[in-house]
Amino acid sequence: MRGVNIISFDGMPTLLGPEPPSNRQRVLIYYVAATLTDLVVLGAFDEYSSSKVQVEGFGTLLLAAVAMQMPLHIAIAAEHRWSHYCCSKKGKLWPLLRFLGAWFLLFAGKFVVLATLSFILGDKLRFDGAMRGFVWLILVVAVMLAAEEALLTVYRKLADPEFDPQEDFSAVGRRYDPPDNGGSCQ
């Protein structure tokens, strides 16, 4: 079996067609991937968290994964806008304000997620434990964000023409930094 390709895409139909995907297609693929990632994470917590996260059924699980997308990404977008605003300012106080503002926006976003889930799902989705389940909600959201970031890292790495998954599996775990400023103010 020497020289056999383990992964071959010859003759495989493409999902997006021969043209590069449009921005609308990219947004669709992003939100579908994020929703499926959140579905898996929430399902894993339901299964393995010793009754700290309880979901009534798959339909509730799916609805929760979809409902979490909008408030979570609005909070992240607000945090990014605040960070860019602070980076454009001069002075020694702005880095501290950037950190405090970003922390506040992301923390407040967790409350919006909780309120959204509580309003839509009621008792079909429950977070129990410390601080009326708020600690478990934060943990679930943090794992969701980490899982989405890991998926995006793999996706970006696969776009690298020098990456060969048959030869370099160790590259999948490394963080991808785009060639620009890497998200810092400088």
Range 49-54 contact pairs with CB under 8 angstroms and sequence separation of 24 or more: 49/136, 51/128, 52/127, 52/128, 52/129, 52/133, 52/136, 53/126, 53/127, 53/128, 53/136, 53/140, 54/125, 54/126, 54/128
> pTM of the prediction?
0.65
Q: Rounded to an integer, what distance in angstroms lies between the CA atom of residue 42 and that of residue 55?
A: 9
pLDDT digits (tens, 9 = 90+) for 133-183: 788 888 888 888 788 888 888 888 887 777 665 555 554 444 444 455 555
Only one residue has tokens 């060639």, namely 179
